C-alpha cells in the first residue's frame, strides 16, 4: 500500500513529529509556505512559536535545545532571514546545543543566478554549524531529516542547517514519512583507560575535576556528584555550565569563566591532575589559554568527551577517552578513589563560599543585596537566563544552583540571548519560574520579543539592570583609554512603560529596599513582568568601580 501523495512541506512536518519535535520557533516567509501550511494542522502536537526577529527565534531554538536535550527547531526565510538567524546558529555551536534550522531557499531552477535573496548556505554557515545541506529532491526529505536529527544530538551536540528550495517543498510525493527516531546510545569509556585514569587520580596531591557541555542526564549528574564526593575531589564548571553540578555539594568550587576569581585560576594552575569531562577547552575557561600550556600542559590531563574532534584539539591529554559524559560518570561512580588532598579540597570550598561576601555597592539598587534576597526565595527548580555584559556576573557568580535549578547563558557571549532564552524556557516548562537577567543594552537587542512572549503565553520575569552604558566596553575603555569615553553612553526608553505597552507588568525599582515588594508583585503577575532596576554606572563590577579602574589605569600610565 502506497502513501497518499502529499507536498514536501507536509512530509517535512510529519517527519519532525515522528522524530519527537513538539515546538518550533520562527518568522514566516514566502520561501517555506508549504511548511507553514502543514503546521496549520499540528497545533498541540508541533506548535509554531511566532517570533518577531529571526535572531530571537534562533536564540529560542538554541536555548530550547540546551535546556531539553532535544534539537531546537527554527524556521526562517531565505537571505535576510538566514543572516538574522546566524547569531543563534553560532551560539548553539559554541554552547554545544542541539538545534536544526530550516532556511527557505530559491527554487532549484534559479540557483547561482543571484536570484532574489539567494545565498549559498554551505559557504555561509559551513564554519559555524555541524552540518549544512540542501534538500534537492522531495523524496529525500525523510533521509535528510533523520541524519540531521542524529547529527545535532550525537558526539558534541550542535546546530544543523537545512536549506529548503521552494519547488522541493511544493512538489508532491508518495514517499512515506519517518516513523520513529533512532536511539542514540552514548559511547562507554574504555575499561582499561578508565582504570588508568583513576590510578593517576589516586596518586595526585591536588586533583581537580573540570566539567562542561550539554547532554548531561539527571542520572549522569548524580553519578558524577557521587564520584566527586566519595573521592573528595574539587569540581569546577567551565564557563556558564555551573548548573550541571549541585552548587551545594561540599566539593563544588565554582566556575571557570569570564571574571574568573583568582582562587579559580590558582586551582587550575596548581592542580597536578585535571579530569576534564565533556568540556571543550575554550578561551574563557582557560583565561585566554594561559592556565594550561599548549600543546602539553604541566598538569597531568585526562580528557573525556564523546566527540573525537575535541580530544587533543588544543591540549594533548595523557589519557583521552572517547565516551559520553553520563556513561563515564556512572563508570567513575563505581570506582571512587582516595588520596591525601583533604586540605586542598577544603581550601577550594572555603574560597568558593567566601566569594559570595561583598561590601555595600555604591548604587541606588545594590545587586549584591538583590542576589541575597533571590537566593533565599526562588524555588529550587528556577531557571535563570542571561545574555552578555558585565551584569551577567550576578546570575553567573552570585547564585547557587541546586540539582533542580538551571542556567541558560551563551558561551558565545552574544548580547540579546537572555530574553529569547527565557521565552523558550517558559515554552518548554510553563510551570517553572523563569528569571531573565538583562542589561539595558542587552535587553534592547531583542525586547520586541515581548510580543512573542505575550502571544505564546510564555511570560518570564525580566530584571533589566539599567546603568545607562554599554558596561563591558566602558570598563575596557577605562582600563585602556582612561577618561576617553566614546560610543558607550546610552539613551534608554522607559522600560516599565515599554513592558506595559506589550501587556506585561512593568515597574521601575529605584532603591534596594523597594526590590523585595516589587519582585513579589512580579511573581504574582499572570502576565509576566519587567522590573527596571536603577543601577549606578560606577557600580560596574561587584568590587571595583569605574573611577577605581580609571585611577588605576592613569596610575599605570
What is the 3-state secondary structure of 232-275? CCCEEEECCCHHHCCCCCCCEEEEECCCCCHHHHHHHHHCCEEE
Q: Which residues are 165's β-sheet partners?
A: 105
- The pLDDT of residue 3: 66
DSSP annotation string for 54-74: HHHHHHHHHHHHHHHSSPEEE
* pLDDT of the residue at 2: 54
pTM of the predicted structure, to 2 decimals: 0.95
Query: Could you give phi then psi for residue 509, rounded to 5 degrees?
Result: -105, 115
3-state secondary structure of 448: helix
CATH 3.40.50.970 fits 6-173, yes or no: yes
> What secondary structure does DSSP assign to 457-495, as a single string?
T---EEEEEE-SB-HHHHHHHHHHSTT---S-B-----H
Start-end of H helices in 51-190: 54-68, 80-95, 121-125, 141-153, 166-170
Residue written as cell 541558560?
Answer: 408
CB 253 within 8 A of CB 234: yes
Task: Please tell me the predicted confidence (pLDDT) of residue 522.
Answer: 98
Q: What is the pLDDT of residue 483?
A: 87
| C-alpha cell, 221 | 549528574
CATH 3.40.50.1220 maps onto the chain at 191-354
Q: Are strands 6-7 and 383-386 parallel, antiparallel or unpaired?
A: unpaired
Residue ranges of the alpha helices (H) in 232-383?
262-270, 325-333, 342-354, 367-377
Query: What's residue 214's pLDDT?
Result: 87
Q: Tell which CATH architecture fits domain 191-354.
A: 3-Layer(aba) Sandwich (3.40)
Partner residues linked to 361 by β-bridges = none
Looking at residue 119, what is its pLDDT?
Answer: 84
Of 335, 329, 223, the C-alpha closest to 276 is: 329
Hey, which residues does 439 pair with through a beta bridge?
Answer: 465
Residues carrying CATH 3.40.50.970, the chain: 6-173, 367-556
> Which pLDDT does position 1 carry in this prediction?
40
The architecture CATH gives domain 367-556: 3-Layer(aba) Sandwich (3.40)
Q: Distance between CA atoms of 395 and 259, rounded to whole angstroms? A: 13
72: cell is 531546537
Mean pLDDT per 10-residue run, the chain (557 residues)?
80 97 96 95 96 98 97 96 96 96 85 76 92 96 97 96 95 95 92 97 97 94 98 97 97 94 97 97 93 96 96 96 97 94 97 96 97 98 96 96 97 94 98 97 97 97 95 88 90 97 98 98 96 95 90 84
Amino acid at each position: 500500500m502506497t502513501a497518499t501523495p502529499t507536498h514536501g512541506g507536509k512530509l517535512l512536518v510529519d517527519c519532525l513529529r515522528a522524530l519527537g519535535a513538539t515546538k518550533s520557533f520562527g518568522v514566516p516567509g514566502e520561501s517555506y509556505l508549504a511548511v507553514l501550511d502543514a503546521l496549520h494542522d499540528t497545533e498541540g502536537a508541533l506548535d509554531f512559536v511566532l517570533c518577531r526577529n529571526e535572531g530571537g527565534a534562533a536564540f529560542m531554538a538554541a536555548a530550547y535545545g540546551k535546556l531539553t536535550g532535544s534539537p531546537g527547531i527554527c524556521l526562517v526565510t531565505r537571505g535576510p532571514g538566514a543572516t538574522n538567524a546566524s547569531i543563534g546558529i553560532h551560539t548553539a555551536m559554541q554552547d554545544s546545543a542541539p538545534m536544526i534550522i530550516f532556511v527557505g531557499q530559491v527554487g532549484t531552477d534559479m540557483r547561482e543566478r543571484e536570484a532574489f535573496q539567494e545565498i549559498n548556505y554551505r559557504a555561509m554557515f559551513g564554519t559555524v554549524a555541524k552540518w549544512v545541506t540542501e534538500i534537492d529532491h522531495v523524496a529525500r526529505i525523510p533521509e535528510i531529516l533523520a541524519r540531521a536529527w542524529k547529527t545535532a544530538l550525537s558526539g558534541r551536540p550542535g546546530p544543523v542547517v537545512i536549506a529548503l528550495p521552494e519547488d522541493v517543498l511544493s512538489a508532491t510525493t508518495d514517499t512515506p514519512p519517518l516513523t520513529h527516531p533512532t536511539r542514540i546510545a552514548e559511547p562507554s569509556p574504555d575499561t582499561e583507560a578508565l582504570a588508568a585514569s583513576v590510578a593517576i587520580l589516586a596518586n595526585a596531591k591536588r586533583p581537580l575535576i573540570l566539567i562542561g557541555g550539554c547532554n548531561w542526564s539527571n542520572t549522569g549528574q548524580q553519578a558524577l556528584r557521587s564520584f566527586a564526593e566519595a573521592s573528595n575531589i574539587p569540581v569546577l564548571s567551565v564557563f556558564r555550565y555551573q548548573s550541571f553540578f549541585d552548587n551545594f555539594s561540599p566539593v563544588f568550587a565554582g566556575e571557570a569563566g569570564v571574571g574568573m576569581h583568582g582562587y579559580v585560576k590558582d586551582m587550575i594552575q596548581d592542580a597536578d591532575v585535571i579530569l576534564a569531562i565533556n568540556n571543550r577547552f575554550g578561551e574563557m575557561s582557560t583565561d585566554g589559554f594561559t592556565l594550561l600550556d599548549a600543546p602539553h600542559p604541566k598538569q597531568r590531563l585526562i580528557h573525556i568527551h564523546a566527540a573525537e574532534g575535541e580530544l587533543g584539539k588544543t591540549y594533548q591529554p595523557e589519557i583521552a577517552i572517547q565516551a559520553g559524559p553520563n556513561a563515564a560518570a556512572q563508570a567513575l561512580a563505581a570506582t571512587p578513589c582516595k588520596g591525601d588532598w583533604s586540605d586542598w579540597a577544603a581550601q577550594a570550598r572555603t574560597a568558593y563560599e567566601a566569594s559570595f561576601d561583598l561590601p555595600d555597592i555604591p548604587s541606588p539598587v545594590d545587586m549584591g543585596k538583590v542576589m541575597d534576597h533571590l537566593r533565599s526565595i526562588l524555588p529550587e527548580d528556577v531557571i535563570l537566563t542571561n545574555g552578555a555584559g558585565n551584569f551577567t556576573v550576578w546570575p553567573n557568580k552570585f547564585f547557587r544552583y541546586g540539582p533542580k535549578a538551571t542556567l541558560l547563558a551563551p558561551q558565545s557571549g552574544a548580547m540579546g540571548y537572555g530574553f529569547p532564552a527565557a521565552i523558550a524556557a517558559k515554552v518548554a516548562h510553563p510551570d517553572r519560574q523563569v528569571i531573565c537577567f538583562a542589561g539595558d543594552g542587552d535587553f534592547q537587542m531583542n525586547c520586541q520579543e515581548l510580543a512573542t512572549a505575550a502571544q505564546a503565553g510564555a511570560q518570564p520575569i525580566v530584571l533589566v539592570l539599567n546603568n545607562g552604558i554599554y558596561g563591558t566596553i566602558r570598563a575596557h575603555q577605562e582600563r585602556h583609554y582612561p577618561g576617553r569615553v566614546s560610543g558607550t553612553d546610552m539613551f534608554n526608553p522607559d522600560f516599565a512603560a515599554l513592558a506595559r505597552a506589550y501587556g506585561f507588568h512593568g515597574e521601575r525599582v529605584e532603591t534596594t529596599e523597594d526590590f523585595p515588594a516589587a519582585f513579589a508583585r512580579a511573581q504574582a503577575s499572570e502576565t509576566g513582568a519587567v522590573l527596571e532596576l536603577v543601577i549606578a554606572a560606577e557600580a560596574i563590577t561587584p568590587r571595583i568601580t569605574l573611577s577605581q579602574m580609571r585611577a588605576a589605569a592613569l596610575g599605570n600610565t
